[in-house]
């Protein structure tokens, strides 16, 4: 049962990813990307990473992609997108990038054996279950985030704040 | 300890299917009759009669409307992007009808095959599931506005996307105050925490409730926040080009959102299915059984699920939800529409900073109470109620000083005073 659902999500995720690249209009590409993000969230649920799945949908599919859609509709209306498609050397370059990424992924997968998990998968799953039972699905992520990794977390927040301030300064008309 | 009676897998599947069908049917039926309630209440507010011809008191009106929508001719604008034009209503209705799944509607029901939770899916992420799905609701509206290839529909779609993103932030921040106090994200646990606190969260978190109410109004695109439709400006906004069942799907989506938001307000702030001033209905899964609470020594007090308790709590939940649905209708037919810049101003410059400050205040108060060793109970809630009460009064005073959403009369007064002050002559009624 789980395998059937996984294959379903995986097919939609990969199909959506291909759709992003080959889509004829930006809106089609964007919808394909939402399908991919939602399917990946579904795969997270199969891994029982419920919190990650919810955040994936909430932040990426529900907020960032809405902004993308907003920008595409507001700024690029009536623009001929076919002129943007680059040929020749760009084809070759993208092929190289895709090939290298696929190779790296394949190499990582080869070392895992039949289960697809590095090391003792059952022990890792049991350890995660113990943490979730103790702290809940949100606490399992929030606890390390706000103790062990709090400096990195706060720095990320600061970086985003700087970006927002910069965007406001750039967008503000000079008086 | 109360009897547990775990369901076997077969019964779990059967009862799960029954619950899905039952909740879906009830939500759809409620949506149909909310349209009638809206028309009858608006008629009452405007001193009219409203639809009263079809069946007794017009009770068959929703069925007649549904039939009309099904057999009406579907129109397809010649220049519309056809695929997205059809996809739009589907994307709008999908998140609206599946969010109700995580809301607990009553106390557990004992059956011969085991005790049944009165919730379709008690997912561990609870409220996050609702926030995630409602964040997807905007796609249906934006896409249909864009695909219609119509200026008014497109403007409606753009407005919807900007407004729904803006108020999602305030909605999320108002929920964070609830999460802080409940210490968990599942809605069953939130109901339980309110029973344990002896106070509904609306008292210790009064300002968060006000933020939630405003943001939920904006998220459902209802007056005074119906900028995406705005009949007087945009014909009817994003669904201008839609007819028959596709048009009806937008309405089903809107009313489902209203119903879910009302049920959420009842659950997050008004104790969910909890019956006020009675601890006999307090019930929560603890270890292998159901408990009513903990005694002074910390030992669990067992609770026994009963059919009567389930029915009473279901009635309490329905009454609370119905009240908020009525409040929604009441607000719609009482308040005028905002101007678009006012909507943005309220969302970003008032609700966002105020909600952030309020979270700091609640978190700080809770930290002090925890440091003082005050147990989670009535006193804990009373202190928070005091702090929140003062903040709420201060916030309402600030908002109501005409600095944020000023009425036209106030601007005239200010202008007149300015003229009088500079010239010494009474400025009279200066326009604008």
Chain A CB contacts of B91 below 8 Å: none
Which residues, listed in sequence order, are joined to residue B284 by a DSSP beta bridge? B291
Query: Which pLDDT does position B2 carry in this prediction?
Result: 42
Cα–Cα distance measured from residue B330 to residue B344, given in angstroms and rounded to the nearest whole number = 23
Q: Which pLDDT belongs to residue B3? A: 47
Q: Rounded to whole angstroms, what are the CA distances from B87 to A42, B83, B91, B256?
A: 21, 6, 6, 19
Sequential pLDDT tens for chain A (175 residues)? 788 888 999 999 999 998 888 877 788 888 899 999 999 999 988 887 888 888 888 888 888 888 888 888 777 655 666 666 667 788 888 889 989 998 988 887 776 655 555 666 677 778 778 887 777 778 888 888 888 899 999 999 999 999 999 998 998 877 6
Of the pLDDT bands very low, low, confident and very high (cuts 50, 70, 90), residue B82 is confident
Q: Report yes or no: B290 and B284 within 8 Å, Cβ to Cβ.
A: yes
Q: Could you say which of A61, A74, A138 has the minimum Cβ distance to residue B136?
A: A61
- Cβ-based neighbour number of residue A148 at 10 Å: 10
Q: Is A50 helix (H, G, I), strand (E, B) or coil?
A: helix
Query: Model pTM?
Result: 0.84
Nearest to B268 by CA among B358, B205, B352: B205
Closest CA to A27 of A87, A61, A71: A71
What is the average pLDDT across B14-24?
A: 88
Task: Give the pLDDT of residue B132.
Answer: 87
Burial class (CB in 10 A: 0-12, 13-18, 19+), B299: exposed
Which residues in A lie closer than 8 A to residue B164 (C-beta atoms)? Answer: 66
User: How far, in Å, CA of B432 to CA of B416, rounded?
Assistant: 10
CA–CA separation, B178 and B205 (whole Å): 7
Three-state secondary structure call for residue B284: strand
The pLDDT assigned to B276 comes to 82
Q: Are B302 and B1 in contact (CB under 8 A)?
A: yes
Condensed to tens digits (0 to 9), the pLDDT of residues B93-148 reads 888 888 888 888 888 887 777 778 888 888 888 888 888 888 888 888 888 888 88
Q: Could you give the CA distance from residue A6 to residue B64 in angstroms, rounded to a whole number? A: 43
Range picked from B34-38, B225-229, B271-275 for highest mean pLDDT: B34-38
Share of residues in chain B with pLDDT > 70 (%): 91
Q: What residues in A contact B136, CB-CB < 8 Å?
A: 57, 61-62
pLDDT at B62: 87
For residue range B275-314, list pLDDT tens digits in order: 887 777 777 777 677 777 777 777 777 777 778 888 888 8
Convert B128-137 to b/e letters by CB count within 10 Å (16 or more is b): bbbbbbbbbb
Gap between the Cα atoms of B24 and B101, Å rounded: 9
Q: Which two tokens stand for residue B145?
A: 């506005």
pLDDT digits (tens, 9 = 90+) for B356-366: 999 999 999 98
Average confidence (pLDDT) over B144-154? 84
- Residues in A touching B165 (Cβ below 8 Å): 63, 66-67, 70
Partnered with residue B116 across adjacent β-strands are B109
Closest residue of chain A to B83, computed from CA coordinates? A28
Tell me the shortest Cα–Cα distance from B161 to chain A, in angstroms: 7
In the block, tokens 């201008």 appear at B240
Torsion angle, alpha carbons of A110, A115, A116, A119, to 10: -90
Q: Read off the pLDDT of residues B210-227 as tens digits, 9 standing for 90 and up.
A: 999 999 888 888 878 887
Query: With an 8 Å Cβ cutoff, are A50 and B125 in contact?
Result: yes
Min Cα–Cα distance to chain A from B389, Å: 30
| Cross-chain Cβ contact B84/A58 below 8 Å | no
Q: Is there a contact between A66 and B123 if contact means CB atoms under 8 Å apart?
A: no
Q: How far is A34 from chain B (nearest CA, A)?
A: 10
Residue B301: its H or E element? strand B300-302
Q: Give the SS3 label for residue B109.
A: strand
Would the CB atoms of B132 and A69 count as touching at under 8 Å? Answer: no
Q: B244-269 and B307-332 are packed helices; what angle lies between their axes, rounded to 10 degrees?
A: 120
* CB-closest option in A27, A34, A137 to B124: A137
Query: C-alpha distances in angstroms, B197 versus A49, B190, B353?
Result: 30, 10, 28
A33-42, B59-68, B74-83, B372-381: which is most confident: A33-42
CATH of domain A1-83: 1.20.120.1200
Chain A interface with B: residues with Cβ < 8 Å: 27, 31, 34, 50-51, 53-55, 57-58, 61-63, 66-67, 69-70, 73-74, 136-138
Distance to chain B for A54, nearest Cα, Å: 6
Backbone φ and ψ of A61, nearest 5°: -70, -35
pLDDT of residue B430: 46
Q: Please spell the DSSP secondary structure of B143-185, one letter per residue.
A: HHHHHTT-HHHHHHHHHHHHHHHHHHHHHHHHHHHHHHHH-S-
| Length of chain A (residues) | 175
Question: Mind telling me how many Å the CA of A57 is from chain B's nearest CA?
Answer: 6
Instruction: Please tell me the distance in Å from A169's CA to the nearest CA on chain B.
Output: 17
**Residue partners of A88: CB distance under 8 A and separation at least 6:** none
Chain B positions touching chain A (beta carbons under 8 Å): 84, 123-125, 128-129, 131-133, 135-136, 138-139, 142-143, 146, 154, 157-158, 161-162, 164-165, 168, 184-185
pLDDT value at B409 more than 70? no
């Amino acid at each position: 049962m789980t395998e059937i659902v996984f294959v379903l999500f995986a097919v939609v995720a990969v199909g959506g990813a291909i759709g992003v690249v080959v889509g004829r209009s930006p809106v089609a590409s964007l919808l394909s990307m939402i399908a991919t993000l939602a399917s990946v969230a579904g795969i997270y649920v199969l891994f029982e990473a419920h919190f990650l799945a919810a955040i994936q949908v909430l932040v990426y599919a529900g907020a960032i992609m809405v902004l993308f859609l907003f920008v595409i509709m507001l700024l690029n209306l009536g623009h001929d997108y076919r002129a943007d498609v680059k040929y020749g050397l760009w084809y070759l370059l993208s092929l190289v990038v895709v090939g290298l990424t696929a190779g790296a992924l394949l190499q990582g997968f080869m070392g895992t054996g039949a289960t697809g998990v590095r090391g003792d998968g059952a022990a890792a799953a049991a350890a995660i279950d113990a943490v979730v039972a103790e702290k809940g699905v949100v606490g399992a992520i929030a606890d390390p985030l706000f103790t062990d990794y709090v400096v990195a977390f706060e720095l990320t927040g600061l970086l985003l704040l700087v970006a927002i301030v910069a965007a406001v300064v750039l967008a503000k008309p000079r008086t | 300890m109360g009897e547990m009676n775990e369901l076997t897998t077969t019964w779990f599947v059967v009862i799960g299917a029954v619950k899905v069908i039952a909740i879906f049917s009830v939500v759809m039926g409620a949506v149909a009759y909310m349209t009638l309630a809206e028309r009858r209440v608006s008629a009452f507010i405007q001193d009219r009669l409203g639809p009263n011809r079809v069946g007794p008191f017009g009770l068959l009106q929703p069925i007649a409307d549904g039939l009309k929508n099904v057999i009406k001719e579907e129109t397809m604008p010649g220049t519309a992007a056809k695929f997205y034009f059809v996809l739009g209503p589907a994307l709008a209705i999908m998140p609206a009808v599946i969010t109700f799944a995580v809301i607990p509607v009553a106390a557990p029901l004992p059956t011969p095959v085991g005790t049944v939770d009165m919730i379709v899916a008690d997912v561990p992420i609870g409220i996050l599931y609702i926030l995630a799905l409602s964040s997807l609701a905007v796609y249906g509206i934006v896409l249909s506005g864009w695909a219609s290839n119509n200026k008014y529909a497109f403007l409606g779609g753009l407005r919807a996307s900007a407004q729904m993103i803006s108020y999602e932030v305030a909605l999320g921040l108002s929920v964070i105050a609830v999460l802080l106090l409940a210490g968990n994200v599942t809605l069953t646990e939130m109901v339980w925490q309110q029973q344990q606190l002896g106070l509904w969260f609306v008292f210790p978190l009064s300002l968060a409730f006000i933020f939630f109410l405003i943001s939920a109004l904006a998220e459902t695109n209802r007056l005074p926040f119906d900028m995406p439709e705005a009949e007087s400006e945009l014909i009817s906004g994003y669904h201008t080009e839609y007819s028959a069942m596709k048009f009806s799907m937008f309405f089903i989506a809107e009313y489902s959102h209203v119903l879910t938001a009302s049920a959420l307000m009842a659950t997050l702030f008004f104790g969910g299915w909890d019956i006020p001033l009675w601890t006999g209905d307090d019930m929560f899964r603890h270890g292998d059984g159901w408990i009513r609470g903990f005694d002074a020594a910390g030992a669990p007090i067992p609770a026994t699920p009963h059919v009567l308790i389930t029915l009473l709590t279901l009635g309490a939940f329905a009454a609370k939800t119905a009240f908020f649905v009525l409040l929604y209708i009441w607000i719609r037919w009482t308040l005028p529409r905002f101007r678009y810049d006012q909507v943005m101003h309220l969302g970003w410059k008032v609700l966002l900073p105020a909600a952030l400050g309020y979270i700091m205040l609640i978190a700080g108060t809770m930290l002090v109470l925890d440091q003082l060793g005050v147990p989670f109970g009535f006193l804990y809630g009373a202190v928070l109620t005091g702090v929140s009460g003062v903040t709420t009064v201060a916030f309402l005073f600030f908002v109501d000083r005409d600095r944020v959403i000023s009425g036209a009369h106030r601007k005239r007064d200010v202008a007149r005073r300015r003229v009088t002050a500079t010239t010494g002559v009474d400025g009279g009624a200066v326009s604008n």
